[in-house]
A and B are shown apart, each in its own frame.
Chain A
């Protein structure tokens, strides 16, 4: 299978007022062609930082990739200049964001904002741009596209704005679409529509999607494969069915156990005890050890190995060589 994006042993460090934090510590994953990869984890686990690093959107002054590499197809992109990245952003890799209400510029019409990538990446003449944009808006299910192109963002609803954002991201037919919690700010019916749209677009365009979310329901609905992140590390990587049927990492097990179940009404939902460690803390062993009910001394003192069993990878001491619970 063709790999479109590879992240190898990525380490990122932030420096602010002399204080160094390490939100990403050795993240490795890849994205296959026309695959939807989910990245799950709670707030602060490094999902967004990782994808921002891929897009080259991390602030240059305060952040630094200290180790590892990011490959777009065969090309290494983590060391490109800002100018070179401008040709890739919105062209080969696009991104949509969590906040559709604030992600569009309030003083430009939809058409003016959607023109930018066409002008920049495809040097398309003005007249052609208009028809292209109207067609693109229609293709994501926006009614009255020929009117909406001249309207301002505040005239549209949240769901419509997210569709406009998706249109913007897809205008130049990117190979990869990174969606950073695209449905979090929307209500459930709109959420379902947007997810269906993303699925359909993947089918049509053979595009890869990286879906960042903390919602396992969204993952189950949409993704082919999932990586679970915890405190700047990938703790588990599995095909979607394997992850839900047989979660191997205690953290993933905890996440799945804490999902509400429609069929029974318990008094309280399960929750994982404790808090995510601060990114400033130095960690010798497994980052999850202090919250893990199976943790041993080894877990606290030395970094866990990554155990590989086919497509299923887990970073945990509890598993034996062949990937079963010891």
Chain B
């Protein structure tokens, strides 16, 4: 088990390193940050001076080497705009992003698992067909559009909910619902299909033959088996929810990492982008690592003794 943990942790390091490397070079391709944030009438000499100070005039490999050297120590530099420590700025935004991701995940699980189970149990019923239909729409609907629709309906027309911002559970409702929609659809379809597989298994027939009620058959004996593959999916989606909430955070003016990253990218504030990429890559890799361990815990067949 220890071997397994060490191996998987090494993979986490590699994933984070590769993500940082790729983003470092990609972002350098997007242009010179100095020209952008200095006023248009700045003289050529002044621009050169700034480039010298910030190190952007040096060869790319030198910049990369220095960046990695500092990054290992947890130093991602300071914001080109505000001069604050980049990593601190990103970490300050982390709680808001986590809050949104967890809220979305809870909504997704609470809706998707019961609906998926019921759809499988009542296969080909009106409910099943309706649920499958809705999930297709949910999976196909882009979040920027859904977010705008929700704002239009609940904030503008009905005036029930705030259109953006943060601070109270009410503020959390629309963005987390928008973010959850895709996961709801994915989890529902997945729960339904694994449940259908499990309900055909011999051991379900055994439980039935020993007098188990329909309820305990489905909710106890079949559900635990179906949950195993769902854990993997939850881990993957949670990573996406944490890292990929950019669009939703922008639409709802949610003060999370996604919005900070987007703004920094537009401003070419490289240190913040790199710190943000580091945090997201690290969280994504760690969640998958944790999922592997939970997986081993739930499924006794792969538990190593």
Chain A contacts to B: CB under 8 angstroms: 55, 57, 82-83, 86-91, 94-95, 97, 99, 102-108, 113, 116-117, 120-121, 152, 154, 165, 168-169, 171
Q: Are B210 and A107 in contact (CB under 8 A)?
A: no
Q: Does B212 contact A (CB under 8 A)?
A: yes
Q: Does B130 contact A (CB under 8 A)?
A: no
Q: Are B225 and A107 in contact (CB under 8 A)?
A: yes
Q: Does B211 contact A (CB under 8 A)?
A: yes
Q: How far is the CB of A87 from chain B (nearest CB, A)?
A: 7
| A to B CB contacts below 8 Å, 29 in the list | A57-B208, A83-B213, A86-B211, A86-B213, A89-B209, A94-B209, A97-B202, A97-B209, A102-B201, A103-B203, A103-B206, A104-B206, A105-B221, A106-B299, A106-B300, A107-B224, A107-B225, A107-B228, A107-B299, A108-B224, A116-B210, A116-B212, A116-B216, A117-B210, A117-B211, A120-B213, A169-B209, A169-B210, A171-B210
Contacts known (A86-B213, A116-B212); A106 close to B225, Cβ less than 8 A? yes
For A92, the closest partner residue in chain B by CB is B211
Q: How far is the CB of A55 from chain B (nearest CB, A)?
A: 6
Q: Are A89 and B298 in contact (CB under 8 A)?
A: no
- The count of residues in chain B whose C-beta lies closer than 8 Å to any C-beta of chain A is 23
For A180, the closest partner residue in chain B by CB is B209
Q: Does B63 contact A (CB under 8 A)?
A: no
Residues of A close to B201: CB separation below 8 A: 102
Contacts known (A103-B203, A104-B203); A154 close to B208, Cβ less than 8 A? no
Cα distance A171–B206 when bound, in Å? 14
Q: Are A121 and B225 in contact (CB under 8 A)?
A: no
| Interface mask (B200-233 → A, CB under 8 Å = 1, otherwise 0) | 0111111111111110100001001100100000
Residues of B close to A106: CB separation below 8 A: 203, 225, 299-301
Partner of A97, one of B206, B212, B224, B228: B206
Q: Are A168 and B210 in contact (CB under 8 A)?
A: yes
Q: Are A103 and B202 in contact (CB under 8 A)?
A: yes
Contacts known (A105-B225, A106-B203, A107-B225); A57 close to B209, Cβ less than 8 A? yes
Residues of A close to B225: CB separation below 8 A: 105-107
Cα distance A59–B290 when bound, in Å? 41
For A102, the closest partner residue in chain B by CB is B202
Cα distance A291–B205 when bound, in Å? 36
Chain B contacts to A: CB under 8 angstroms: 201-214, 216, 221, 224-225, 228, 298-301
Contacts known (A105-B221, A106-B225); A154 close to B209, Cβ less than 8 A? no
Contacts known (A105-B225, A107-B225, A108-B221); A57 close to B210, Cβ less than 8 A? no
For B204, the closest partner residue in chain A by CB is A105
Contacts known (A89-B211, A108-B221, A117-B211); A165 close to B206, Cβ less than 8 A? yes
Q: How far is the CB of A300 from chain B (nearest CB, A)?
A: 39
Residues of B close to A108: CB separation below 8 A: 221, 224
Q: How far is the CB of B129 from chain A (nearest CB, A)?
A: 16
Total A-B contacts with CB atoms under 8 angstroms apart: 78
For A104, the closest partner residue in chain B by CB is B203
Q: Lowest 4 A-B CB distances belong to which pairs?
A: A90-B211, A90-B210, A105-B203, A102-B202
Cα distance A105–B204 when bound, in Å? 7
Q: Are A121 and B300 in contact (CB under 8 A)?
A: no
Partner of A107, one of B206, B209, B211, B300: B300
Q: How far is the CB of B224 from chain A (nearest CB, A)?
A: 5
Residues of A close to B204: CB separation below 8 A: 105
Cα distance A103–B221 when bound, in Å? 12
Partner of A102, one of B203, B207, B209, B211: B203
Residues of B close to A88: CB separation below 8 A: 211
Q: How far is the CB of B305 from chain A (nearest CB, A)?
A: 10
Q: How far is the CB of B202 from chain A (nearest CB, A)?
A: 4
Cα distance A239–B1 when bound, in Å? 59
Residues of B close to A57: CB separation below 8 A: 205, 208-209
Cα distance A105–B222 when bound, in Å? 9
Cα distance A91–B225 when bound, in Å? 26
Q: How far is the CB of A216 from chain B (nearest CB, A)?
A: 26
Residues of A close to B228: CB separation below 8 A: 107
5 further contact pairs, Cβ within 8 A, besides A83-B213, A168-B206: A90-B212, A95-B209, A107-B299, A117-B210, A169-B209
Cα distance A101–B197 when bound, in Å? 17
Residues of B close to A91: CB separation below 8 A: 211
Residues of B close to A169: CB separation below 8 A: 209-210
Cα distance A94–B211 when bound, in Å? 9
Residues of A close to B206: CB separation below 8 A: 97, 103-105, 165, 168
Cα distance A108–B301 when bound, in Å? 11
Cα distance A106–B204 when bound, in Å? 11
Partner of B202, one of A99, A116, A120: A99
Residues of A close to B205: CB separation below 8 A: 57, 97, 103
Residues of B close to A83: CB separation below 8 A: 213
Q: Are B300 and A152 in contact (CB under 8 A)?
A: yes
Q: How far is the CB of B194 from chain A (nearest CB, A)?
A: 13
Residues of A close to B211: CB separation below 8 A: 86-91, 116-117, 120-121
Residues of A close to B221: CB separation below 8 A: 105, 108
Cα distance A97–B301 when bound, in Å? 22
Cα distance A150–B216 when bound, in Å? 21
For B300, the closest partner residue in chain A by CB is A152
Q: How far is the CB of A60 from chain B (nearest CB, A)?
A: 11
Cα distance A4–B228 when bound, in Å? 43
